[in-house]
């Protein structure tokens, strides 16, 4: 998959202010406000910036945290993980491998079979229903 590097002005034109803040400035939407945190549709969640497939409805679950949660990526080769030491915490940041968009964070408190939770901002996602 070819990496996408758009100029900042192009991202600002393509994305809403909230999508830009979350994906390009590593922001976070408020919990329980995103359009996908309680979404129940069947299909694929894609990157709002580049449309790369990221997660599937089969791995989505209600973690109670207020953001869409997944116990595994749908396409592992489209996800990157980075150490995040911001805000006085040690976390694992999750980004889109194709365009570098900030998606959210990974935590070790998910359900079986993986035991991990991808806590992802709705503003970083689009959805393609089956």
Catalytic center residues: 119
Q: What is the DSSP string of 18-87?
A: HHHHHHHH---PPTT-STTTT----EEEEETTT--EEEEGGGEE--SSSS-EESS-SSGGGEEEEEE-GG
Measured CA to CA, the distance from residue 130 to residue 36 in angstroms comes to 16
Question: Nearest-CA neighbor of 114 among 74, 78, 54?
Answer: 74
Neighbouring CB atoms inside 10 A of 118's CB total 27
């Amino acid at each position: 998959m070819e990496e996408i590097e758009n100029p900042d002005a192009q991202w600002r034109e393509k994305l809403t202010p909230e999508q830009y803040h979350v994906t390009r400035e590593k922001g976070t939407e408020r919990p329980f406000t995103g359009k996908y945190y309680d979404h129940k549709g069947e299909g694929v969640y894609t990157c709002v910036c580049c449309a790369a497939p990221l997660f599937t409805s089969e791995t989505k679950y209600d973690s109670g945290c207020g953001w869409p949660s997944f116990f595994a990526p749908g396409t592992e080769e489209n996800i990157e993980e980075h150490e995040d030491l911001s805000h006085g915490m040690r976390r694992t940041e999750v980004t889109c491998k194709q365009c570098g968009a900030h998606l959210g964070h990974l935590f070790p408190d998910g359900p079986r079979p993986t035991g991990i939770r991808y806590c992802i901002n709705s503003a970083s996602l689009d959805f393609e229903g089956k």
